[in-house]
Structure 1
Amino acid sequence: MTIDTTLLVTGGAILFLIVLSFFFSGTETGMTAASRARLHALSAGGDTRARHVEQLIERKDRLVSALLIGNNLVNILASALATSLLLTIFGDAGVIYATIGMTVLLVIFSEILPKSWALARPEQFALFVSPFARFIVFLFGPLSILANGAVRGLLRVFGINLSSDTSLLSAHDELRGTLEVLHREGAFIKADRDRVGGLLDLAELEVSDIMVHRTSIRAVDGDAPPATVVAEVLRSPYTRIPVWRGSIDNIVGVIHAKDLLRALHEVQHDFSRIDIMKVASKPWFVPDTTSLQDQLNAFLRRKAHIAIVVDEYGEVEGLVTLEDIIEEIVGEIADEHDIDMQGVRQQPDGSVIVDGTVPIRDLNRALDWNLPDDEAVTVAGLVIHEAQTIPEEKQAFTFHGKRFVVLKRERNRIVRLRVKST
């Protein structure tokens, strides 16, 4: 073989290796950046390549290791051939020329170009290179297993246990992150983000986080005259009213307005002939630690709409309704009988007047704030928790990027606050 032929063959081999490096780099980026949801949809629609990509991504560590092994092999071989070729042509100076030339070629054609292309269209690129990826995993699979084992062993030496079955983010966390990204990019409006986020929150929230507190429960005295009970029920904006005897801690039933109207109709509207306890249904008591997801499922299973919330000692804490849980998903639901509770009022100076009983979650959702609700449910509770005392009127606090000023206090209860961003 002549020198010219040798140079031509070597140059062709280098070009071929650079093309292989292009595929290795692009495949790694495309496979890792592809949306698993879109791939699943394509696979469910009968796309065989999408199914193959899904199978490869399930063992992402093996896939990436095989691609890295192959990529490094072709890059090193291409650099060695280029060095040999240029040494033949330019002598010792060929080392410098080979280093500069291969760096430029590999960075542009084997790194920036394929990865930019793959990031621009990750799913399409992943589908295109899926046969190549399957072949590489088959070829270098055993080596990648050995490499991964060595890596895990080295990491254990430094106290890092890298489990292939453990994800750094839960499925819920990944969905939340996706929602935030889509919202920031304008693909999701705030209302849609809040609805999906509310659905994800059901498993993390407890009924005590959204219940109507016992001090705000609209209930009737079962020992009161029937006419008084009927009047109370008719004045109430709610369809279902708890019935108590002796004290609010002794809830003995729940009256449905329709059942009461039927009972009145049967006795020709003679209040004296109504037995309130016969009209009332048996109350349903649930622990305050029940998750909203479990409570929603229980409501649907029992075909019920209201439950009385009790603490670990069996004392009444409040009540929760099916509507309360649904509102955590879709936002506030108002009908023609709801009382408009002016708990949040925007001020011209940019501050907000907030009732102390307003839930932190509702305030965050309404104003797109991010106040923590781990230690307290209401705004007043948050201020007391942060201040570690019950503040006086006109006392001000700054935390979590907001300035809170206590406007009104009744006994040990914070009634109203002014909140402004700092």
Structure 2
Amino acid sequence: MMALNRYRLRHLSNNGNRSAKRVSKLLQRPDRLIGVILIGNNLVNIAAASITTIIGTALYGAKGAIFGSILLTLVILIFSEVTPKTIAALYPEKIAFPASFILRPLLFLLIPAVWLVNGVSNGLARLIGINPQDHGNNELLRPEELRTAVDEAGDLIPDQHQGMLLNILDLEKATVEDIMVPRNEVIGLDIEEDVPTLMEQIRSSAYTRLPVYQGDINNIVGVMHLRNAAKFIYGGDETITHEAIKRFAREPYFVPESTPLHVQLLNFQKEKRRIAIAVDEYGDVQGIVTLEDLLEEIVGDFTTNLAEEAQQEISPLNDGWFAIEGGTSIRDINKQLGWELPIDGPKTLNGLILEHIESIPAGHMGFSLGRFQFETSKISNNMIEVANVRRK
């Protein structure tokens, strides 16, 4: 009874299996179930011991009682304890379901004795701070336990689906900041530029949606879907106005950069949006996050982005070294290379290096951080643009 898989039992019970329903009712009060089993078990064992003692004494005197006790112990251990319980542990459903036919009426017949025994037993348990009826939470899986269950499902779940399920569980560990496109990489339309320049950006853009801002990226006034550009692109560029571009841009959708990904996924669904502007606690724009970016955290890269293909952030070198751009996300590095760089601090490789050396180096340098070796390769005035990294 206790070795049954509770989730399989619940599944069978929900599908109308009568034996499973009967066993589920018995397991709702494990103290009563254990009580009736042990009352019957001990009654039989004590009765067998008494009968053996009487027969042994009558036949062979005191020696008969001793040898009878030894023989009975072996018989009970082999035929009543070890063998049947081993079989029951290996095939719990085959044993528990038929046994429930006997245990339910026995529980009804012995309910006064069960109440008495459980009353005393539960009272003693409460004296040491244990509530015998507080067992409901033990049947619930924690996220870490669910992850282990999925990870060890083996052939029951295909590897690709297994990875997707694990990625879903990991969504709550990451935030919008971890996957957003940083503001220095955001490509948008500055409404203060002349119309020909804006039209050239629209025609040559590799993206479907472009933020529209006025003068500064912090002053985003809308998001232009290039599908809407067809509504005002007709004739020459001289017929297009800035107001037309602003009018067909949708109102921007702002989100805090600290929003957990599983929450943001629901927010995208609720707001019927595909792109959001990530802002910090002061309201300054930090980057943009799209529904595609978020879904790729679950299913992996499933689209071809020409703009991203043109820029390879991680390039293999000799002897296990990799040339990595400073703006590359640490989570992307870990995911692509199977590394374990720390992700609880800076979000990019440049940030991780600068946090460790606490300054922007004047020249190239190398250092070790845990199991990893770093060597700067390309440095600008305000950041490390490329670094060579390898795991020891």
Residue matched to 2:11: 41
Give the counterpart of 1:332 among 266, 276, 301.
Answer: 301
- 1:172 corresponds in structure 2 to 143
Query: C-alpha distance in 1, partners of 2:166/2:253?
Result: 29
Equivalent residue, structure 1, for 2:369: 397
Q: 1:286 to 1:89 in 2, by over 3 A?
A: farther
Tell me the SS of whatever aligns to 1:309: strand
Question: How many positions carry a matched residue from both structures?
Answer: 380
Pick closer, same or farther for the CA change 1:234–1:116 going to 2, 3 Å: farther
The percentage of counterpart residues that share the same residue type is: 33
Would the aligned equivalents of 2:183 and 2:285 in 1 still touch at CA under 8 Å?
yes
The 3 A distance-change label for structure 1 pair 97 and 192 is farther
Match of 1:154 among 119, 125, 128: 128
The residue type paired with residue 124 of structure 2 is A
Residue 390 of structure 2 corresponds to: 419
Q: Counterpart in 1 of 2:83?
A: 113
Say if 2:218 is the partner of 1:249. yes
Structure 1 residue 289 and structure 2 residue 258: aligned? yes
Give unpaired runs (5+ residues) of structure 2: none
Classify the secondary structure of the residue corresponding to 1:263: coil
Quickly say closer, same or farther: Cα 1:389–1:303, change in 2 above 3 A: same
Which residue identity lines up with residue 208 of structure 1 in the other structure?
E
In structure 1, list runs of 5 or more residues that go unmatched: 1-26
Which residue number corresponds to residue 25 of structure 2? 55
How far does residue 179 in structure 1 lie from its aligned partner after superposition?
0.9
Distance in structure 1 (CA, Å) of the matches to 2:337 and 2:106 = 52
Structure 1 residue corresponding to 2:240, chosen from 273, 276, 279? 273
Partner Cα separation in structure 2 for residue 80 and residue 332 of structure 1: 73
Alignment of 1:13-24 (within 5 A): none
User: Secondary structure of the residue that 1:46 maps to in structure 2?
Assistant: coil
Query: What SS class does the counterpart of residue 395 from structure 1 fall into?
Result: strand
Helix, strand or coil: the match of 1:286? strand
1:226 touches 1:272 (CA, 8 Å); kept in 2? Answer: no
TM-score scaled by structure 1? 0.75
Report the AA paired with residue 2 of structure 2.
Answer: E
* Contact 1:239/1:257 (8 A) holds in 2: yes
* CA drift at 1:73: 5.1
With over 3 angstroms needed to count, the CA separation of the structure-2 counterparts of 1:288 and 1:47, relative to structure 1, is same
- Give the TM-score, by structure 2 length: 0.80
**How many angstroms apart in 1 are the aligned matches of 2:202 and 2:161?**
36
**Alignment match, 1:210:** 179
**Cα distance in 2 between the residues matched to 1:406 and 1:207:** 29
Residue-by-residue CA offset, 1:121-171 (whole Å, 9 max, x unaligned): 344444333334434555465333542342242146xxx999434449654
Q: Report Cα offsets for 1:191-227 as digits up to 9, x if no partner.
A: 3222011222334433223222222222221211222
Q: Distance in 1 between matches of 2:38 and 2:354?
A: 55
The alignment's C-alpha RMSD in Å is 3.6
SS at match of 2:162: helix
Q: How far apart in 1 are the matches of 2:225 and 2:333? A: 31
How much has 1:317 moved relative to structure 2?
A: 1.8
3-state SS in 2 of match to 1:127: helix
Change (3 A) 1:225 1:151: same
Is the 1:155–1:161 contact (alpha carbons within 8 Å) kept by the matching residues of 2? no
